[in-house]
Structure 1
Amino acid sequence: MDILALLGTATGIALFSGLRLYTTILAIGLALRFGSFHLPQGLAGLSVLADWRVLAIAAACFVVEFLADKIPLVDTVWDGIHTFIRPIGAAVLGYTVIGNYDPWIQVAIVLACGGIGFTAHSAKAGTRVILNQSPEPISNIGASLVEDLFAVGGSLIALTHPLLMLGGVVVFLLVFAFLARKIVHLLIGRFRRPRGDMNAPS
């Protein structure tokens, strides 16, 4: 398996780990456990996710997250708790994918996966904070269900179509960078406006 394919799998799994860590682990682990996907030699490290103990812990955490993420404000608290857990989980999974390569490649992939996981988590958490401003719970629940489906489908695509996933990760990062810049400029404008009003002549 070439390095680009491995990079696509690692970064794709990291992306969806930042979105839904336990769902991603459970989806990949169950697919391996029941033979829906057979790992090529380069991805042999991921076989640990099919261990019943890993699956049991992931399933228990998945149930808690599935319920917590559907409740406005509770989901924000849950995201706050996972600000470090999801990126670390993404980095660990990235290392699992790339564990047999040279140390410098391992370090680079771990850092990249941690960063991508944190970026995905930030996008998810920020979006949910905005949705929580709405008094109705339907948009929150709908967004949560879409995230569940994305995590399941995306993590499996990362295994089966790594180059396609690599392109998707690049597009996500570019879109995030573009939107983040817009948001920062918007916030700066709001902070500057009161100061200008205070200095304006009466």
Structure 2
Amino acid sequence: MSVLPLVFTSGWASGINAYAVVLLLGLLGSTGVSDQVPEALQRPDVLIAAGVLFLCEAVADKIPYVDTVWDAVHTVIRPVAGAVVGALLAGQDGSLSHLAAGAVGGSAALLSHLVKAGTRMAVNASPEPASNIVVSLLEDLAVAGLVVFALFHPVVAACIAGTLLALGLAVVVVLWKRVRRFLQRRRERRDEKRLRGLPPVHVGGAWQGERTGS
């Protein structure tokens, strides 16, 4: 069977949390749960680095606005990680070229990263921090569950990942429109408050900006 479905799923997951993907695949390979994991991902230094960075992301990803900065920094890192993991998986399996696997994994990671970053920007428009924590936990669970599932049922997992990606892109479009309207209303209210704080100006026989009311 071609490794392409596994490459696509791992790429999708890398766009959400690349360190979790590397750590999880490495642990599953080193413990003997799966023989599809490349030895490069099972190295102790790789597992330690992925574990430390995963813990950093686990904290940053749940703090409003910090998660957006973290996502911006990882705009390049996540697609590259998806491409590298895909190429390594292709080398382990031999049914897909490294270049093709890297392109599939990197492209899937880039698209899912854009969905994640766009969704977080929309979530940050809400005044409370609980939604960030809930969304982050759901993302982590989805990544872990689908990566493990993909090792044993790659085609079904790839279909699920593709469906989630399509739904995520549609949600981001809808949420982004709402975020733009929210930001526009906030700017209008800020401008209105600033104008109300200005002293009245006498123009053409009339006072402009004068406060009214009892």
The structure 2 residue matched to 1:79, chosen from 71, 74, 96, is 71
The structure 1 residue matched to 2:88, chosen from 96, 100, 114, is 96
Task: Give the match for residue 205 of structure 2.
Answer: none
Q: In structure 2, the residue corresponding to 1:20 is in which secondary structure?
A: helix
- Partners of 1:156 and 1:75 lie apart in 2 by 25
Q: In structure 2, the residue corresponding to 1:38 is in which secondary structure?
A: coil
Task: Give the match for residue 198 of structure 1.
Answer: none
After TM superposition, give the deviation of residue 25 of structure 1 in Å: 1.0
Q: In structure 1, the residue corresponding to 2:75 is in which secondary structure?
A: coil
Task: Give the match for residue 152 of structure 1.
Answer: 144
How do 1:112-151 residues align onto structure 2 when only pairs under 5 Å count? 112-151=104-143
- Partners of 1:14 and 1:137 lie apart in 2 by 28
Aligned alpha-carbon RMSD (Å): 2.3
After TM superposition, give the deviation of residue 17 of structure 1 in Å: 0.6
Task: Give the match for residue 55 of structure 1.
Answer: 47
Structure with bigger gyration radius: 2
Task: Give the match for residue 22 of structure 1.
Answer: 19
How do 1:5-44 residues align onto structure 2 when only pairs under 5 Å count? 6-35=3-32, 37-39=33-35, 43=36
Task: Say which structure, 1 or 2, has more relative contact order (CA 8 Å, 6+ apart).
Answer: 1
Distance of aligned partners of 1:175 and 1:59 in 2 relative to their CA distance in 1, 3 Å threshold: same
Name the structure with the higher helix share. Answer: 1
Aligned sequence identity (%): 35
2:79·2:110 contact (CA, 8 Å) conserved in 1? yes
Distance of aligned partners of 1:102 and 1:160 in 2 relative to their CA distance in 1, 3 Å threshold: closer
Distance of aligned partners of 1:148 and 1:170 in 2 relative to their CA distance in 1, 3 Å threshold: closer
2:122·2:175 contact (CA, 8 Å) conserved in 1? no
Q: TM-score, normalised by structure 2?
A: 0.75
Q: TM-score, normalised by structure 1?
A: 0.80
Q: In structure 2, the residue corresponding to 1:82 is in which secondary structure?
A: helix
Distance of aligned partners of 1:74 and 1:182 in 2 relative to their CA distance in 1, 3 Å threshold: closer
Distance of aligned partners of 1:146 and 1:102 in 2 relative to their CA distance in 1, 3 Å threshold: closer
Q: Bigger shift: 107-116 or 93-102?
A: 93-102
- Partners of 2:122 and 2:172 lie apart in 1 by 14
- Partners of 1:183 and 1:143 lie apart in 2 by 14
2:19·2:50 contact (CA, 8 Å) conserved in 1? yes
How many residues align structurally? 179
Structure 1 residue runs without a partner (length 5+): 191-202
